[in-house]
Amino acid sequence: MKKPHKAVRSGALIVFATVLLASALGARVILAEEIDSVVASVDGEPITSHDLKNPSVGGPGGMGSGLSMGTPENPQGALKNAIEQKLLEQEANKYASKVDEDEVDRYITNLELQNHITDTQLRAQLQQQNISYDEFRAKIRKQVEAMTMIDREVRQKIVVSEEEIEIYYKNNPDEFTTTQEKFKLAQILISVPDNARPQDVAAARLKAEDIRKLAVKSDADFGSLALEYSDDDSKTKGGELGEFSPGDLNDAVLAAIKNLKAGDISPVVKTKYGFHIVKVEMHQTPGLEPLDEVRGKIRDIMMTEQSREAFQKWLDTELIQKHYVETLPQQQQ
């Protein structure tokens, strides 16, 4: 198994966290030369003509309203979208007390793992863009508040039945049929130098065995363990190695994982690099995947589809009734 090279996507996290969060949660910059007039208000908070010309990318939590952003043929589309964004911002504020600092920490950690960036690199990028860490963290908190709102008001009220899952599986066999065996793997590596003394090799093995015991616990976060303990470059990606065919793998590693299922963790494996603890994140075998192995995936697909419909319904019925919305005549341009 080749050790992957370290890859950091410069600026990727900043793009996600400053552009998406600012647009979704109402950060606005009004250009001095623009003539800005109030066109509507939600609970007394104004919506301006500038807001209509610079619509948000999506609703809090990344749901988006699914509305038209406004066109010459549909001039009311931008106004309707801006009102809904304001409604979502106002409602999300009610969830500030329901989000603790640990949740914000976990969200930031996950963003760093997903974007292959360390906390030190994140802070350096923020500094380069003249964004304080406190400002960034405040925007992340707003995002978590919005996600909590959507989860409690929409997602938790959706129930995907076993019958619906079985029908989806039966009607979409191509989504669950594979033609070749593949593994998606993550690892924690305890390295051993070529000239290591026997006692050092034994100590490294013992360390690997102890870390594996931590990894197999039901509440263990493999990515966090990799970040803390692994000697491989992949640690900054939570140990993620990518996808492999059987022929791509070291013989000892393949022997240890060939009969494992997704979510399983291998015994400690020794190679020339040291001792590996390998997590099988996906094991794709030729043929139709059993329903039991894809049930969770189908539930997530259906939950997402139904959440979008339920989100829009909640917006159009329940949410708008909780707030006072006023629109003002718009001047023709």
Rounded Cα gap, residues 174 and 128, in angstroms? 47
Q: Are residues 266 and 222 in the same domain?
A: yes
Q: Is 296 within a domain?
A: no
Q: Of all helices (H) and strands (E), which one includes residue 320?
A: helix 320-321
What domain range includes position 75?
12-155+310-327
Give mean pLDDT, residues 203-216.
96
Strand blocks (E) in the chain = 38-42, 45-48, 177-178, 182-191, 240-244, 269-271, 274-284, 287-288, 325-327
Q: Are residues 202 and 110 in the same domain?
A: no
Q: Are residues 99 and 21 in the same domain?
A: yes
In eight-state DSSP terms, residue 265 is B
Q: Are residues 210 and 246 in the same domain?
A: yes
Q: What is the CATH number of the domain that holds 43?
A: 1.10.4030.10
First to last CA, the chain: 63
Q: Are residues 112 and 236 in the same domain?
A: no
Q: Is 37 within a domain?
A: yes
Q: Is 294 within a domain?
A: no
What was the pLDDT predicted at 36?
67
Q: Are residues 320 and 269 in the same domain?
A: no
Q: Are residues 115 and 235 in the same domain?
A: no
Q: Are residues 188 and 151 in the same domain?
A: no
Q: Is 4 within a domain?
A: no
Q: What is the CATH number of the domain that holds 190?
A: 3.10.50.40
Q: Are residues 42 and 150 in the same domain?
A: yes
Give mean pLDDT, residues 105-123.
88
Q: Is 42 within a domain?
A: yes
Please give the tally of structural domains in the chain.
2
Q: Is 218 within a domain?
A: yes
- Whether the per-residue pLDDT at 249 is higher than 90: the answer is yes
Q: Are residues 57 and 139 in the same domain?
A: yes
pLDDT 10s digits, 53-109? 766 544 444 444 443 334 444 556 778 888 888 888 888 888 999 999 999 999 999
Q: Are residues 143 and 16 in the same domain?
A: yes
pLDDT 10s digits, 276-287? 999 999 998 889
Q: Is 302 within a domain?
A: no
Question: What mean pLDDT is reported for the chain?
Answer: 82
57 burial via Cβ count (<10 Å: 0-12, 13-18, 19+): middle
- Whether the per-residue pLDDT at 226 is higher than 90: the answer is yes
pLDDT 10s digits, 14-41? 333 433 334 333 443 434 444 568 888 8
Q: Is 271 within a domain?
A: yes
Name which residue leads in pLDDT, 91 or 267. Answer: 267
**Phi/psi at 265 (5° precision):** -120, 130
Whole-prediction pTM value? 0.52
Amino acid at 242: G
Q: Are residues 120 and 31 in the same domain?
A: yes
Q: How far is CA 265 from the centre of its chain?
A: 23
